[in-house]
């Protein structure tokens, strides 16, 4: 739709320029720096309009290329961030599982379910519930 509207405006401008140029068929002297040319006003008007259109086209092309470059950079950045997000998500899941394992181990230690290396239960030692004491070994503890 936007392209169609632009085309219609361009065609209307071209028709207006052509009408103006054909209604002014005078001979004119055109000077630029050291050059001087005798030509019709129609040719000068059409050449000026064409040069303006070409200049606008080049400027638009430059803007389009910059926009495309920015889009490509943004797409690459999005891909990098998505990969980083996936890595962080995997690390988060791994750490969550490790935390659950550690919490379960802590729960077993505080509940007295863990047995000592001599086969005795930790609760057999004189300690308060939830307090871990290593098994008593040595020459004075039989």
pLDDT at position 123: 47
Is the distance from CB of 29 to CB of 36 less than 8 angstroms? yes
Please name which of 125, 131, 127 lies closest in space to residue 110, comparing C-alpha atoms. Answer: 131
pTM reported for the whole predicted model? 0.50
List Cα–Cα distances, 136 to 106, 115, 116, in angstroms.
21, 13, 10
What is the pLDDT at residue 13? 87
Looking at residue 121, its pLDDT comes to 47
Are the beta carbons of 118 and 135 closer than 8 angstroms? yes
- In the prediction, which pLDDT does 6 show? 84
Residue 32 DSSP one-character state:
E
Model pLDDT, residue 141: 52
Please give the pLDDT value at position 81.
97
Q: Classify residue 18 by burial, with Cβ atoms within 10 Å: 0-12, 13-18, 19+.
A: middle
Q: Rounded to an integer, what distance in angstroms lies between the CA atom of residue 88 and that of residue 83? A: 9
Q: Which position has the token pair 């290593």?
A: 134
> What confidence tens digit (pLDDT) does each residue in 31-68 have?
888 889 898 888 888 888 899 989 999 999 999 999 99
Residue 83's pLDDT is 96
Closest CA to 132 of 113, 93, 81: 113
Ramachandran angles phi, psi of 121, nearest 5°: -85, 145
In angstroms, the first-to-last Cα distance of the chain is: 95
The ranges of the chain with pLDDT < 70 are: 113-142
């Amino acid at each position: 739709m936007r392209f169609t509207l632009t085309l219609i405006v361009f065609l209307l401008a071209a028709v207006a320029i052509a009408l103006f140029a054909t209604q002014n068929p005078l001979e004119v002297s055109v000077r630029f720096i050291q050059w001087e040319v005798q030509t019709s006003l129609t040719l000068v008007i059409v050449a000026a309009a064409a040069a303006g259109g070409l200049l606008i086209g080049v400027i638009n092309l430059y803007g389009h290329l910059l926009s495309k470059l920015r889009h490509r950079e943004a797409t690459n950045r999005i891909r990098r961030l998505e990969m980083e997000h996936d890595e962080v998500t995997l690390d988060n899941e791994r750490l969550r599982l490790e935390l659950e394992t550690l919490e379960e181990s802590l729960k077993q230690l505080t509940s007295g379910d863990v047995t000592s290396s001599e086969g005795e239960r930790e609760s057999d030692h004189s300690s308060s519930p939830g307090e871990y004491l290593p098994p008593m070994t040595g020459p004075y503890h039989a």
